[in-house]
Structure 1
C-alpha cells in the first residue's frame, strides 16, 4: 500500500502506483506499508533512489542499515510491533530523507505512525525533515508509553506476589511477568536501534546545517537514552520479581513437605506400638491384663506427643 502526505492537506491519501506514477511537488511523505514490488519500483523510478529490500532492512550490519547514497540518507531501525498482543515482536522500518521527501518502508502496522497521522491532521509536517522529526517524536513517545504500561503491569504483579494469600496460584503472575519481560526486552532493543538511527540522522545535510533541527535531534537522543536506562531498570526489576516468586514457591513447597514429614514422624511411634500389640502371640504380658487396652492407647499418645515437643524445642514448628 502506498500512502502519500501532501503539503497543506490533512491526512494521508492512498494512491495506486503504476509505471508512470510520479509524486507531485507538494508531496512531503511517502509511506509504503507492505509494499508490492511494483509499488517499490514505481517509487524508486520516480525518485531515482534504490530502496532497501526486506532482507537488507533486517540485517544487523550498519553498512546495510545506515548509509548515504544518491543524495539521500537511508536509516533503518528495529521497532516494536503489537506490544499489546500475546506475542509482540520486532519489525524493521526504514526512513529515507532525500530529494525533498520522506520515504518510509515498513511491513507491519505501527501505532506510532498512526499517532503521527493524527498530528498531521492538525497541520504539522510541512517538510520532509519536519515530518521525519515529528515521526521520530511519535516513535519515542510510543516506546515510552509501552514502557509505562509494562511498568504498571510489573508493579501490579509485585503487589500480587508479596500480598497474595497463602497457597495462591502463581501461574497467572508468572505469565504476566514473562509477557512484561518480553515487551521490555523488545522495547529496549528498539531504543538501542533507534539511538543509532538518531546519531546517524545528524549527518543528513538537511539536519546538520540547521541548529534548530540539530537541537531537536539531540533532545530525541537524550529521551532515547533515558528510556533505555529505564528499560534496563524495569528488566532487572522483573528478574528480581521472578526470583522472588520462585523463592516463595519453594518456601511453600518446603512448608508442605515439612508438614507431611512432621505428620509421618508423629504417627510413626503410635504405629509401632499398635503393630506390636497387634501381633498374634499367645504369651504377651498385657494380652489378658484389664488395663492393657488403656495402657496401649496412653503409650501411643505419649509416643506421638514427644516428637511434637521435641520439634517445638528445636524450633522446627
Structure 2
C-alpha cells in the first residue's frame, strides 16, 4: 500500500494503481506500508532508485543501513512497536531523494499515524521537513513509552517494598520483566536513531539548510537524553529485581528456619517415645506406676527446653 502526501494537501492520498505511475511534482512524502514487490518495482522505475528489500532492511551492518546511492540518502533505523503480540523492534527505512521523503515499513507504527494526522496542519512543505517532523513523532512516542515504563516501574517498586505479607512475587516479576523488555528495545531504537541522525547530516537537502541542521542537532540532544533516561530505568529495574530476589530468599530462609526449629523441638520427644516404645522385657519403668506420666513429662520438658533456649537466643 502506498500513501502520498502532496504539498498543501489536507491529508494522504491512497495510490491504488501504480501501473505507469509517476510521482506528482508537489509530492513530498511517499509512505509504503507492507508494499508488494510489484509496487516497489513501479516506484523504483518512476524514481530511478533501488529500494531495499525486507531482508536488506533487517541487516544490522551500518553499511547496509546507512548509505547514499544515485543522489539519494538511505537510512534504516529500528523503531519500537507495541503490538498485541508484545513489544518488538522493527526496521524502517527513510529515503531522502531530491527533497522527496520515502518511507518503507512493514508494521503499523503509531508515530506514523500521529504525524500523518498533523502534517497537513504543520505546514510541511518539503521532504526534509517531513522527515524531521516524522522523526519528532518517533522521539515523542519513545519518550511516551519510557514514561509509561517509568510509571510501571514505580508501581512495581511500591508493590515490592509495601506488599502484604504472603503475597506472591510472580506478578511483580512479570511486570518488571515487561518493563525491562520495553526499556531495552527503546534503548536499542535510540542507538539506531543516533546513527541515523549522524548520517542524515550528510544528505545534501539537510547539509545545505541551516534550519534543518539546527533541527537535527535538537533531535540528537533529545535522543541522547532519552538514551540516558532509558539507562536509568535499566539500573532501577535491575535494582528492583535484585531486591525482589533478596526478599524471596529472606522469606525462604524464614520458612526453612521455622521447619528447622520445629524439627529440633520434636526430636527429643520422638527420642523418648522411641525408647519407651521398644517393648524390651526388662525395662523398670514398664512396671512402675508413674512410668507413663514420667514419659509424658519428659516429652513435654524436652519440647519446652528448646523453646526457651531459642527464645533467649532470639531465633523466633
Distance in 2 between residues matched to 1:16 and 1:129, nearest whole Å: 25
- Which deviates more from structure 2 when the two are superposed, residues 121-130 or residues 68-77? 121-130
The aligned residue for residue 62 of structure 1 is: 62
**Structure 1 counterpart of 2:230:** 231
Shift of 1:243: 1.4
1:21 aligns to what SS in structure 2?
coil
Q: Does 1:287 align with 2:286?
A: yes
TM-score, with length taken from structure 2: 0.96
- Which secondary structure state, in structure 2, belongs to the residue aligned with residue 102 of structure 1? strand
Aligned to 2:140: 141
The 1-side partners of 2:277 and 2:194 are apart by 81
Tell whether the 8 Å contact from 1:116 to 1:135 is kept in structure 2 after alignment.
yes
Deviation for aligned residue 1:304: 0.9
Gaps of 5+ in 1: none
Aligned 1:21-170 pairs, distance under 5 A: 21-82=21-82, 85-170=84-169
TM-score (ref. length: structure 1):
0.96
How big is the shift at 1:160?
A: 0.9
Q: Which runs of 5+ in 2 are unaligned?
A: none
Query: What secondary structure sits across from 1:30 in the alignment?
Result: strand
Corresponding position of 1:191: 190
List structure 1 segments (4+ residues) > 3 angstroms apart after TM superposition: none
The SS at the match of 1:286 is: helix
How many matched pairs? 316
Please list, as runs of the form range in 1=range in 2, the aligned pairs for 1:199-210 lying within 5 A after superposition.
Answer: 199-210=198-209
What is the alpha-carbon distance in structure 2 between the residues aligned to residue 88 and residue 233 of structure 1?
A: 20
| Deviation, structure 1 residue 199 | 0.8
Q: CA deviation at 1:121?
A: 4.1
SS in 1 for 2:90: strand
